[in-house]
Amino acid sequence: KVSFACEIDSEHHRLKPVQDTCLYCYLPAKEAKWGLKFLLNTDMIPNGARDNIETEFDNSTNVNEEIARIAGSKFFDWIYSLCKSNKYEYGSIFNLIPNFVSIKRGRDKFKELISEFQNGLEERLEEEAIIPSAGCFIRVTEAILDETGLSSNGILTDEEFLQFLCRKDVALPDSSLRPDTEENKTFHSFLKNYIEKFDVEENLFDLDALTEMVRTESFQEWLKNQENNNRFLNFLLEKEYLQDFL
């Protein structure tokens, strides 16, 4: 059995990280602190004092590592179910996802267990859809991370953006996840990390990608409309991109 919990800000429809968490094996294993932003309760084997979990086993199978991997897979299900519920802001949901590099630092005793949790999550992330996108869900490998802000300021429709991108195998995340805000900081870091890890760097839409888009025939045609042209120039000015284009 694996279960998760976090705090809820009902007034603003947001989820809140839990501070100073420890693992639970039905009772709190107070010394088993992984730096998670949520409560995790599993059937891991505790030590005799029940204030920690066992990390070393005499036989070849480390039961707790197996359970940690299962927990990582179930964590994928939890995040997906929270997104699918439409009850909470998406940014606050993705804010619960750990930065594994950070939480492993200084936790050598739990490093292998955290890595197994990470592996369980990443096996699901690579193959299954979890990112909200225009009424559906897409995989990390199908998601465009727009680092320029072009897709979040109303200049283009999503259809136009993807048309000018000349890609049929990708989609944009939900519009609420695109702005470069503090609320979306974790999501952007999460998406960029796995775009790089899963070797789909072409899904990063940066300034270089923007300049390539502007050179396409379809975008040039779109620019012939004076209103479109004005909006795009304003965008370049606001983002301080104009000098690069000149």
Q: What is the mean pLDDT of residues 195-200?
A: 96
Q: Tell me, what's the pLDDT at 244? A: 80
> Pick from 19, 74, 75, 23: which is nearest to 53 by CA?
23
Average pLDDT over residues 50-64: 85
Q: Which residues contact 234 (CB under 8 A, 6 or more apart)?
A: none
CA 20 to chain centre: 22
Q: What is the mean pLDDT of the chain?
A: 94
Residue 243 has pLDDT above 90, yes or no: no
Give per-residue pLDDT as tens, 174-190: 999 999 999 999 999 99
pLDDT digits (tens, 9 = 90+) for 130-164: 999 998 999 999 999 999 999 998 999 999 999 99
% of the chain exceeding 70 in pLDDT: 99
Q: Which of 13, 128, 126 is nearest to 80 (CA)?
A: 128
Q: What is the mean pLDDT of residues 203-210?
A: 95
pLDDT at 61 over 90: no
10-27 pLDDT per residue, tens: 898 999 999 999 999 999
Backbone angles phi, psi at 114, to 5 degrees: -65, -40
- At 58 the pLDDT is 75
Task: Inform me whether the pLDDT recorded for 124 exceeds 80.
Answer: yes
Beta bridge partners of 3: 41
Q: State how beta strands 39-42 and 23-25 pair.
A: parallel
pLDDT digits 0-9 by tens, 71-123? 999 999 999 999 999 999 999 999 999 999 999 999 999 999 999 999 999 99
Tokens of 149: 């802000």
Residue 162 to residue 215: CA distance in whole angstroms: 15
Closest CA to 147 of 181, 187, 121, 180: 180
pLDDT for the residue numbered 199 = 96
pLDDT of the residue at 242: 86
- What local confidence, expressed as pLDDT, does residue 246 receive? 78
Q: Does residue 155 sit in helix, strand or coil? A: coil
